[in-house]
Structure 1
Amino acid sequence: METLQTTSQQTVHAPQQTNGLPKVIVQAVTSKKQLAQFIDFPHDLYRNDENYVPELFIAQRDLLTPGKHPFHEHSKLQAFLAFRGNEIVGRIAAIDNTNHNIFNKTNDGFFGFFDCINDSEVSQALFSAATKWLKERKFSTMIGPVNFSTNETCGLLIEGFDGPPVVMMTYNYPYYVKLIEEAGLGTKITMYAWKIIPQYMNDRPFRVMTVLKERLTRRNITFRSVNLKNFDEEVKNIHAIYNSAWDKNLGFVPMTEKEFEYLAKDLKMILDPDFGIIAEENGKMVGFALAIPDINQILRKIKRGRLFPTGILKLLLGKKKINGVRVLALGVLESHRKLGIDACFYGELMKVGRAKGVAYGEGSWILETNEMMNAAMRGINADPYRTYRIYEKEI
């Protein structure tokens, strides 16, 4: 049987409460049964929240299982479940991201997959277990929530709880802010999600794009859509751009070839090639932009993230009805920035969105310190409608 990473401390007991409730016990996840409980806990926690979107069980299982996801080839994690009596009341994962620390020359530990009832005793017990695991590995800092890094879902939602999250974005109860800050964590970075409504957009991006494209053509920079018939080669080149264009972002860690291929394989199933735009100079890729359909419109209807027996039909039949997108990535090689390529990407994505009748788009996430991207969002009348935060503390 495959098992998760084990830890020397299998069980953590919290102090007995004075109100007569059973003590909180935190257990390390070491079996397939416990992993299933870890994945399913949020479904029960959010069962009355209409904005909750369940993760697909099979995707979460593979993400968290060594031998299934390439993250585990270079790093490790330990998942924990909190029990009060026989009831699961919280979960967390402590994460050792080796590649992050090598690339950034840091000594950071991480936490992720945090979900908890509104109870400080439970959250404190979970953070104590995660902190202990990280301290045993000599880390000096705990950062999160990240699942596993900024290349995957990350950040705590702190503003904008009035609707479901878009694809590959996080969602949580507002009280998580209190629980995390009570555990001694403070703000590391704030991130924004910008909502773009086509009917409120001005036409400036299209006018600018026309002028810029003429100028860029003179230096042999052209634009095209992703070629799905040559997908493997496209992924290889986009991977190189991704690792180069984002390398100075806070907390960035390069994706390995296997990690990027794993992500690309998943995205290919929902990708509309018209929303994948590539910039080339003399036939060599220098930038790309990617918007993906907001498949959360369908996933929120799939009970407990199970594709069978009916979830797969909802997925297949609902794909064509999706009317929203998320701008997942937009990057240009440093040598080709400030030429207007990014502005052309904005214009092209909006042009495609209007043609396809897209009702909304989300640009996310964008660091609060990224003045250029935030200014670009303001310039097209986008709304900074959601705010996320990554926390940290010394341990």
Structure 2
Amino acid sequence: MKKIVQVNSKKELGTFIDFPHDLYKDDPNYVPELFIAQRDLLTKHPFHKHNELQCFLAYDGDKVTGRIAAILNNAHNEHNKRNDGFWGFFDCINDQETANMLFDTATKWLKDKGVDQKSIGPVNFSTNEACGLLIKGFDSPPMLMMTYNYPYYANFIEKYGFEKQMDLIAWHWDGDGYDDKSIRLLGALQERLKRNNIVIRKVDLKNFKSEVEKVREVYNSAWDQNSGFVPFTDAEFDWLAKDLKLILDENFVYVAEQNNKIVGFGLALPNYNEIFKKIKRGRLLPTGIFKLLLGKKNIQSIRIYALGVIDGYRKMGIEACLYGSIIKEYRERGLKHAEAGWTLENNVLINEAIKAIKGDPYKTYRLYEKDI
């Protein structure tokens, strides 16, 4: 008998987190999330102070067949003057009825919370976290902090009545695939910026707290006009910064600064998914921690996680300098793969800039919406 169960206990939460490991056990491109990170995201993240989330599990008899989280993101609704609801953490066996039951349950929960406009997903809280359904690019594993799913998910979602809201594009380069023009022009562009007292420098990890405060202001300003954007609270950005500090490489983090004011930044992360892929069921103990510690020096790819410049400083060459600085380091290390992602499909300025340095739009993720 098929049924939906609300996740209330620690044991049920563990089942919720672990379900994808069994669902994708035969998929060579699946990368397990770290259990401790998912548990903390779902229970301790500052998001929960001002918003609400409820997880659900689908069963067929005693067997788990799917999962979903219904999400009330008050910050999104306040910032965008909306009354929308969200769903995320969706995974399901290849069965439309089960998918429908999960969407029905999430929709009812959102309605009971007073949501009366759109249901949007998949997002794992907001577009500040992992989001989007993979619809193109199933032939390689996801990069760090990107989603992954079976191709049949799109059919389930569309048959239920969801329609495309926006596509998100991930861009790829192989080894030396970057256009050298970005590196060749780097010195000249930096000299031009210096005439306006703008310098490009690496992030200062010794003053990390101060750097984070400045970068947070840039992030919330630079991305403010993006569709569905939700500003980070101080606590949320500090949470993200604390997590990223554990894995970032200062040689891949650059800021643009004018008179001690940060006006732009670019951040690329080592692709730790190369290691996570080898950590069984996302457990660091007893052996996963050693794979993590010993494997990081062998990582061969990066993901350009974020790159933005505040209004008033765009089209001055800052973006090209940030990209160029990251590319230079990438090339000098002889790394094999790089991804920039994601970008909104309608962000013509940044997409054309990426095309100009030979970026290949190799993966597409889709956000869906449906009237409630």
Matched, 1:159 2:136: yes
TM-score w.r.t. structure 1 length? 0.93
The percent identity for this pair of structures is 58
Residue number among 180, 186, 196 corresponding to 1:203 in the alignment? 180
Partner of 2:92: 116
Partner of 2:46: 70
The whole-number CA distance in structure 2 between the counterparts of 1:311 and 1:200 is 33
Partner of 1:9: none
Higher RCO (CA < 8 A, seq sep 6+): 2
* Distance apart, 1:124 and its partner CA: 0.3
Query: Which runs of no fewer than 5 residues in structure 1 stay unpaired?
Result: 1-21
The whole-number CA distance in structure 2 between the counterparts of 1:310 and 1:201 is 37
* Distance apart, 1:213 and its partner CA: 1.4
Q: Is the 1:197–1:382 contact (alpha carbons within 8 Å) kept by the matching residues of 2? A: no
Query: Which runs of no fewer than 5 residues in structure 2 stay unpaired?
Result: none
Residue number among 350, 364, 367 corresponding to 1:387 in the alignment? 364
Matched, 1:104 2:80: yes
Residue number among 278, 299, 303 corresponding to 2:280 in the alignment? 303
Residue number among 158, 165, 184 corresponding to 1:188 in the alignment? 165
State the AA in 2 paired with 1:268.
K
The whole-number CA distance in structure 2 between the counterparts of 1:202 and 1:130 is 46
The whole-number CA distance in structure 2 between the counterparts of 1:232 and 1:375 is 34
The whole-number CA distance in structure 1 between the counterparts of 2:96 and 2:185 is 52
* Distance apart, 1:155 and its partner CA: 0.1
* Distance apart, 1:358 and its partner CA: 1.7
Partner of 1:11: none
Q: How does 1:207-226 map to 2 (within 5 A)?
A: 207-226=184-203
The whole-number CA distance in structure 2 between the counterparts of 1:198 and 1:341 is 24
Q: Is the 1:108–1:142 contact (alpha carbons within 8 Å) kept by the matching residues of 2? A: yes
Number of aligned residue pairs: 371
Q: Is the 1:144–1:392 contact (alpha carbons within 8 Å) kept by the matching residues of 2? A: yes
Q: Which runs of 4+ in 1 moved over 4 A?
A: none
Range moving further from structure 2, 376-385 or 91-100: 376-385
Partner of 2:315: 338
The whole-number CA distance in structure 2 between the counterparts of 1:226 and 1:130 is 42
Residue number among 93, 100, 103 corresponding to 1:127 in the alignment? 103
Could you give the per-residue CA deviations for residues 27-71 of structure 1, whole angstroms, max 9, x where no partner exists?
110110100000000000000011000001011011111xx1100
* Distance apart, 1:210 and its partner CA: 2.5
Range moving further from structure 2, 320-329 or 189-198: 189-198
Q: Match of 2:135, SS? A: strand
* Distance apart, 1:207 and its partner CA: 2.8
The whole-number CA distance in structure 2 between the counterparts of 1:199 and 1:227 is 28
Partner of 1:10: none
The whole-number CA distance in structure 2 between the counterparts of 1:57 and 1:362 is 25
The whole-number CA distance in structure 2 between the counterparts of 1:215 and 1:209 is 10
Partner of 2:14: 36
Q: Is the 2:172–2:360 contact (alpha carbons within 8 Å) kept by the matching residues of 1? A: yes
Partner of 1:86: 62
* Distance apart, 1:214 and its partner CA: 1.6
* Distance apart, 1:157 and its partner CA: 0.1
Partner of 1:264: 241
State the AA in 2 paired with 1:95.
I
RMSD: 0.8
Partner of 2:30: 52
Could you give the per-residue CA deviations for residues 283-342 of structure 1, whole angstroms, max 9, x where no partner exists?
211110000000000001000000000000000000111010000000111011111100
The whole-number CA distance in structure 2 between the counterparts of 1:317 and 1:77 is 36
Partner of 1:16: none
Partner of 1:138: 114
State the AA in 2 paired with 1:172.
N
* Distance apart, 1:197 and its partner CA: 2.1
The whole-number CA distance in structure 1 between the counterparts of 2:265 and 2:69 is 33
State the AA in 1 paired with 2:253.
G
Q: How does 1:314-329 map to 2 (within 5 A)?
A: 314-329=291-306
Q: How does 1:240-279 map to 2 (within 5 A)?
A: 240-279=217-256
Q: Is the 1:94–1:131 contact (alpha carbons within 8 Å) kept by the matching residues of 2? A: yes
Partner of 2:148: 171
Could you give the per-residue CA deviations for residues 189-217 of structure 1, whole angstroms, max 9, x where no partner exists?
01110002242222211233222212111
State the AA in 2 paired with 1:335.
G
Q: Match of 2:29, SS? A: coil
